[in-house]
Structure 1
Amino acid sequence: MLTAEAAVTLVANAVYITALIVCVLIVPSLIGGLLVSIFQAATQINEQMLSFLPRLLITLGMLLFAGHWILRTLSDLFVETFKNAGKLVG
């Protein structure tokens, strides 16, 4: 039966995995953006493409690098959720 504790555990696990995946994609992009911003401040170059393109490339690179892990983690979450669905319903 779906109790409050089971629902909280299910949602907490889903939120944890979502936050972990987002951090894997966003943190390297933030670090790259910070480095580009420091470079722009030091050289006083104010070009929009210089700030956007490296972050885009870093994010795409992380998708290529960690994409397999992300898909495996999400599929494990869904398989675990569907395996427990029978126990939670009845």
Structure 2
Amino acid sequence: MNEADALDIVQFAIWTVITASGPAVGAAMLVGIGIALVQALTQIQEVTLTFVPKIVAIMVVIAFTGPFIGGQISAFSNVIFERIQTGF
């Protein structure tokens, strides 16, 4: 295994993490911005108000995008196992 192989594996791992976590992070960001806007408009400054909607949104998004996330992780695992099998 040389430097190019290691960099390729690290690049693929980072891309897998970004694509697998993207839907949940995006949903949390959108819900957070929406709640912050409502708090700013109504002047309700309750810190704990954002937690429950974010958690619910993340759970719903993960429930719908679970097969996609599993496919991304499975593809990464298959690539790593193939490289191990071929001896890099």
Measure, in 2, the Cα distance between the counterparts of 1:86 and 1:51: 47
Q: Aligned residue pairs: how many?
A: 88
Partner of residue 47, structure 1:
46
Partner of residue 82, structure 1:
81
Which amino acid counterpart does residue 85 of structure 1 have in structure 2? I
| TM-score, length-scaled by structure 1 | 0.88
Q: Any conservation in 1 of the 2:19–2:72 contact (CA below 8 Å)?
A: no
Runs (4+) of structure 1 exceeding 6 A deviation are none
Deviation at 1:47, TM superposition (A): 3.0
Partner of residue 30, structure 1:
29
Deviation at 1:87, TM superposition (A): 2.6
For structure 2, the residue ranges without an aligned partner over 5 or more in a row are: none
For structure 1, the residue ranges without an aligned partner over 5 or more in a row are: none
Q: How does 1:14-29 map to 2 (within 5 A)?
A: 14-29=13-28
Cα distance per residue 1:14-57 (max 9 Å; x no partner): 11110121222101111111011100110112334421111111
Q: What percent identity do the matched residue pairs reach?
A: 20
| TM-score, length-scaled by structure 2 | 0.90
RMSD of Structure 2 on Structure 1 (CA): 1.3
